[in-house]
C-alpha cells in the first residue's frame, strides 16, 4: 500500500519514528519508544531501513513483534544503510513521508547517524515538530593521550580539541536549525550538563524491552541452554569471560580471547554475530584454535534479541564482565545490562563508562589501551567482585522503565 493511501485512513494523533539503521540496540529503542507512544494513544508510524544484506526490518525479531500490535504501521525505507553518511541523502524520503502522513511529531531515533544525511531538513515541513535522540557525545570527555609519544600526543590532542570545538558549535547552535528540532534527548547526563540548554533532556540508556513476546526462537533457545549447561558442567569453578554483541575490534573481542587464552582457570563465552573483514590486533583464529583444543570456548551466532531465558542464563553464569573497549568515550548498553544482573564491570579509564564506574562504585577501571593493567585489574576483581554486586544492581535501577517513561514525559508533555 502506498504511503498516501495509508495516510488517508489515519485521523488520530500520530508520531513518525524515523530510524534508517536498526542494527543493534536501535531495535530496542524502536520497541520501547513505540510502546510508550502507543500507551498514550498515538498512531505510530515506524520508518525503518533494511539490513545491509537487504533483509526487511519486518523480519527482525523486535520489529516483527511491533508489527503485530494495533495502531502501528511499519514503513520500509529500503536499502539505505550505504547512504547514512551522505549529506542530504535522506531529506527527500523523510519529507515525503511527513507530507503523506502529517504527523504531530517526527522522532529521529538515530540522531547521531542522520546529522549529515538530513542536512537541510529544517527548511522542510516547518509545521511538523521534530525531536531527536543523540547517543554519541564522546567529545565532551577528556581525551587520553598518555600512551603516545610527544609529537603524536600533540597532534592527537589538537585533533581531539578541534573535534570537541566543532561538537560544541553543532549542538549549541547548528543542530536546531539543521534538523528543524524542537526537542532533543541524550543518554549522557554529563553531555546535558555541558550544553546547559533547556531544550535538551536526559533519557536513561535504553538497553532492554519490557513485556515483549518474542517467541520465534524458543526451540533454538532451549537447545542452546541445554548445550551451554553441559559446557559449564565440564568446567566447574572456572571463571566465565563473557562477550556479548557484535564481535567488533573496538569492543575488545580479540582482547578477551587473549585474556582467556592466558588464564587457564577461565572459559570464554561469546554470543552475537561476527563482522566480516574486521581487523583485530590479536590473531583471533590462533587464539580460538588454542581455546577449542582445550575445550574452553563456547560461541553462538544467533539473531539479536533483547531479552530471553538464554541471555539471562549467560549473564547469571558469570561473576563480572570485562569491557576492553578501544578509546571508547560513550555509554554502553551492555554495561548497563550487565549491572542489571548485579554483575560488576571492568572498563577503560576514559569517557562515560569510567565516570559511571567511579560515580557508582560498580567495578574497576584499567588504563586505556593498557593490556597489562587490564590483566592486573582482572585478577583483582576475580577475588573481589562481590564487593560491587549490590552497587551494580542499584546503579541499573537508574535505567528502569519508570525512569525512561518519566524522561519521555518531561520532553513531550
Centroid of chain to Cα 93: 25
> Given 146, 176, 211, which residue is the final one in a domain?
211
CA–CA dist 185, 201 (Å, integer): 5
Identify the residue with better confidence: 113 or 91.
91
What's residue 147's pLDDT?
74
Statement: residue 333 has pLDDT above 80: yes
Q: What is the DSSP string of 217-264?
A: THHHHHHHHHHHHHHHHTSTTPEEEEEES-B-GGGTHHHHHHHHHT-T
Inside any domain, residue 406 = no
Residue where a domain terminates, one of 211, 228, 246:
211
Judge whether 4 lies within some domain.
Answer: no
> Could you tell me the pLDDT band of residue 7, with boundaries at 50, 70 and 90?
very low
Give tens-digit pLDDT for 357-387: 999 999 999 999 899 999 999 999 999 999 9
φ, ψ for residue 110 (rounded to 5)?
A: -125, 60
238 and 291 in a single domain? The answer is yes
Same-domain pairing of 258 and 370: yes
Indicate whether 117 belongs to any domain: yes
107 and 232 within one domain: no
Q: Does residue 203 sit in the same domain as residue 223?
A: no
Q: Is residue 407 part of a domain?
A: no
- 228 belongs to a structural domain: yes
Residue 340: CB atoms within 10 A of its CB come to 18
84 and 104 co-located in one domain: yes
Same structural domain, 22 and 112: yes
The reply to whether 178 and 242 lie within a common domain is no
DSSP secondary structure letter of residue 121: G
Q: Are residues 241 and 199 in the same domain?
A: no
Domain count, the chain: 2
Q: Which domain holds residue 184?
A: 13-211
Domain annotation covers residue 37 = yes
Cα 304 to Cα 17, 67, 273: the distances in Å are 21, 17, 8
pTM of this prediction?
0.88
pLDDT of residue 303: 60
Write down which residue in 211, 229, 259 finishes a domain.
211
CATH at 360: 3.40.50.2000
Question: 166-197, pLDDT tens digit by residue?
Answer: 888 889 889 999 999 999 999 998 888 888 89
Mean pLDDT of 17-30: 86
Q: Do 193 and 331 sit in the same domain of this protein?
A: no
Indicate whether 168 belongs to any domain: yes
- Do 240 and 181 fall into the same domain? no
Percent of the chain with pLDDT strictly greater than 90: 54
> Do 290 and 198 share a structural domain?
no
- Both 173 and 233 in one domain: the answer is no
* Domain assignment of residue 294, yes or no: yes
Mean of pLDDT over the chain: 88
Name the more confident of 354 and 1: 354
Residues 271-326: tens digit of each pLDDT: 888 888 889 999 999 999 999 999 999 998 876 554 567 888 899 999 999 999 98
Amino acid at each position: 500500500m502506498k504511503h498516501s493511501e495509508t495516510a488517508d485512513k489515519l485521523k488520530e494523533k500520530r508520531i513518525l519514528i524515523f530510524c534508517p539503521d536498526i542494527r543493534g540496540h536501535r531495535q530496542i529503542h524502536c520497541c520501547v519508544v513505540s510502546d510508550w507512544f502507543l500507551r498514550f494513544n498515538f498512531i505510530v508510524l515506524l520508518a525503518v531501513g533494511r539490513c545491509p544484506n537487504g533483509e526487511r526490518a519486518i523480519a527482525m525479531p523486535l520489529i516483527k513483534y511491533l508489527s503485530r500490535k494495533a495502531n502501528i504501521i511499519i514503513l520500509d525505507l529500503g536499502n539505505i544503510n550505504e547512504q547514512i553518511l551522505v549529506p542530504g541523502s535522506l531529506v527527500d524520503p523523510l519529507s515525503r513521508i511527513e507530507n503523506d502522513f502529517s504527523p504531530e511529531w517526527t522522532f529521529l531515533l538515530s540522531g547521531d547517524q542522520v546529522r549529515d544525511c538530513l542536512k537541510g531538513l529544517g527548511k522542510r515541513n516547518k509545521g511538523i515538530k521534530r525531536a531527536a535522540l543523540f547517543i554519541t557525545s564522546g567529545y565532551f570527555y577528556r581525551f587520553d593521550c598518555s600512551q603516545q609519544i610527544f609529537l603524536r600526543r600533540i597532534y592527537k590532542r589538537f585533533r581531539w580539541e578541534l573535534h570537541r570545538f566543532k561538537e560544541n558549535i553543532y549542538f549549541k547552535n547548528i543542530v536546531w536549525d539543521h534538523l528543524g528540532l524542537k526537542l532533543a534527548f541524550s543518554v549522557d547526563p554529563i553531555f546535558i550538563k555541558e550544553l546547559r540548554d533547556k531544550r535538551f533532556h536526559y533519557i536513561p540508556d535504553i538497553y532492554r524491552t519490557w513485556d515483549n513476546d518474542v517467541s520465534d526462537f524458543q526451540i533454538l533457545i532451549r537447545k542452546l541452554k541445554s548445550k551451554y549447561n553441559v559446557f559449564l558442567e565440564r568446567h566447574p569453578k572456572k571463571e566465565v569471560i563473557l562477550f556479548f554483541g557484535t564481535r567488533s575490534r573496538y569492543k575488545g573481542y580479540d582482547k578477551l580471547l587473549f585474556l582467556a587464552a592466558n588464564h587457564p582457570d577461565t572459559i570464554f563465552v561469546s554470543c552475537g554475530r561476527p563482522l566480516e573483514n574486521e581487523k583485530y590486533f590479536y590473531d583471533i583464529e590462533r587464539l580460538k584454535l588454542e581455546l577449542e583444543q582445550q575445550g574452553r570456548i563456547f560461541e553462538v551466532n544467533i539473531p539479536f534479541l533483547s531479552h530471553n531465558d538464554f541471555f539471562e542464563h549467560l549473564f547469571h553464569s558469570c561473576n563480572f564482565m570485562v569491557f576492553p573497549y578501544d578509546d571508547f568515550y560513550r555509554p554502553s548498553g551492555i554495561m548497563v545490562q550487565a549491572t542489571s544482573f548485579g554483575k560488576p564491570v571492568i572498563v577503560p579509564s576514559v569517557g562515560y563508562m569510567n565516570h559511571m564506574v567511579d560515580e557508582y562504585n560498580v567495578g574497576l577501571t584499567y588504563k586505556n589501551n593498557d593490556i597489562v593493567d587490564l590483566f592486573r585489574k582482572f585478577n583483582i576483581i576475580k577475588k573481589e567482585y562481590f564487593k560491587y554486586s549490590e552497587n551494580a544492581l542499584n546503579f541499573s535501577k537508574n535505567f528502569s522503565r519508570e525512569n525512561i517513561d518519566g524522561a519521555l514525559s518531561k520532553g513531550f508533555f
